[in-house]
Amino acid sequence: MVEQVSSLKTGVKYKDTPIGKVPVDWEVTSLGKTTYLEYGISLPAKKRIKGNVPVYGSSGIVGNHNEAFVDGPGIIIGRKGTVGSVSWVNTHFCPIDTTYYISKKQSRKHLKWLFYLLLNLHLERLNITTGVPRLNREEAHSVVVPIPPLLEQKKIAKILTTVDEAIEKTTQIIEKAKELKKGLMQRLLSRGIGHKKFKKTEIGEIPEEWKIVRLKDITHKFYNGGTPDTKNDSYWNGNIPWITGADLENQKVNQIRKYITHDGVENSATNIIPEGDLLIVTRTGVGKLAVAPYNIAISQDITGTILDSARASAKYIYWYLDYKASHLKSIVQGISINGLLRGDLEFLRILLPPIEEQKRIVVILDSVDNKIEKESNHKEQLELLKKGLMHVLLTGKLRVSI
């Protein structure tokens, strides 16, 4: 991929056009003179259940058929439903009537380059919202686009395809790591590490050295949260981070949107939870949790849980409750604001290994989680690279060497 990107060049002469400056040797014309959006076929759902030819709707594969309607590769564009979506199909396929499609027969240009051009056009902006939302073909055909010479189309497509392949490879690594994490959580949090002897309990067999405890048995104190008076400016924009359940994503404190002052802490029900202790969302978003990344004040959505560190690792309990997140959601009560009652939280059953084994389990699960985070960050960077390359390559702001 680096080799592909290194072939980019600057120092290009431009000309003025109705869509701005483009390279002098590029054509500017309507999309309809470049390709033709063909209607997908009417294929009832009952006919999409057998065969090995993928059936595409506007949001992706919706079934399989035994005969191909279009010889691939091709492009799918959402006509109804996910209006303006653009998908690439490598194989023969059946496009249904919620889509338009483009194959080599409908395109006068390099097909993969055209796919990226369509992605960059953001056709969803042409959504007709009166009546049934849809993409009007005539409007799409009338969009004016810049067209590079054929060899340049191929080179642009090759560069962007290389980035897409790297994104797909990274996605596969992430998915495999997530499956590994799921399997490890199930095994480690119920069977532990290397145990040979097990005992029968009311919740099944567990390692002989393990105990079943209630969360309250291993907790020094539960802290409620609260919100300082939003009309009192002296309580806000201080230096103490303050979070709600909405600030927790992927079982981590995702961002700090608000800060409060010491007066805000002293004059409200909020509490500051020390770094390393457990944050459990018990209202609006039950099932979310995190380990406090630093001293942090909490809203009424969150219960701070200060564990007995001699008996329980906060990170182990974090992993155990993450594993049991669906159970937490199942015992939520309330109508207007769903919440987890303090009594239900305190009486949650925890499978508790000896503290040293807890720490070993944490190391294993953290290592997989770190792998997922690292690869997710890499994927995000690749997606930003692709977005930037599409912007400059498909408009001629940056040229490729042929």
In CATH, what number is assigned to the domain containing residue 82?
Answer: 3.90.220.20
| Per-residue confidence (pLDDT) for residue 163, from 0 to 100 | 98
| Per-residue confidence (pLDDT) for residue 334, from 0 to 100 | 61
State pLDDT tens for residues 226-266.
Answer: 999 999 999 999 999 999 999 999 999 988 999 999 999 99
| Per-residue confidence (pLDDT) for residue 11, from 0 to 100 | 59
For residues 145-150, average pLDDT: 96
Same structural domain, 120 and 256: no
Tokens of 156: 């642009």
pLDDT(1) > 60: no
Beta-carbon contacts of 111 under 8 Å, excluding residues fewer than 6 positions away, are 73, 74, 75, 102, 103, 104
Same structural domain, 333 and 246: yes
| Per-residue confidence (pLDDT) for residue 93, from 0 to 100 | 95
Q: Output the average pLDDT for the chain.
A: 93
| Per-residue confidence (pLDDT) for residue 336, from 0 to 100 | 53
State pLDDT tens for residues 78-112.
Answer: 999 999 999 999 999 999 999 999 999 988 899 99
**CA-based max dimension of the chain:** 80
The domain in which residue 229 lies consists of 211-352
pLDDT(3) > 80: no
Q: Distance from first CA to last CA of the chain, Å, rounded?
A: 16
Same structural domain, 299 and 384: no
| Per-residue confidence (pLDDT) for residue 4, from 0 to 100 | 47
Considering only residues 114 and 6, tell me which one the structure prediction assigns the higher pLDDT. 114
pLDDT band at 5; cut points 50, 70, 90: very low
| Per-residue confidence (pLDDT) for residue 2, from 0 to 100 | 45
Angstrom distance (rounded) from CA 107 to CA 315 = 56
Same structural domain, 254 and 361: no
> How is residue 388 annotated by DSSP?
H
pLDDT(217) > 90: yes
Same structural domain, 215 and 341: yes
Tokens of 310: 């001699």
Same structural domain, 140 and 153: no
Same structural domain, 274 and 296: yes
Same structural domain, 47 and 74: yes
pLDDT band at 335; cut points 50, 70, 90: low
pLDDT(7) > 60: no
| Per-residue confidence (pLDDT) for residue 203, from 0 to 100 | 87
Angstrom distance (rounded) from CA 295 to CA 309 = 17
pLDDT(6) > 50: no
* Domains contained in the chain, number: 3
Same structural domain, 113 and 262: no
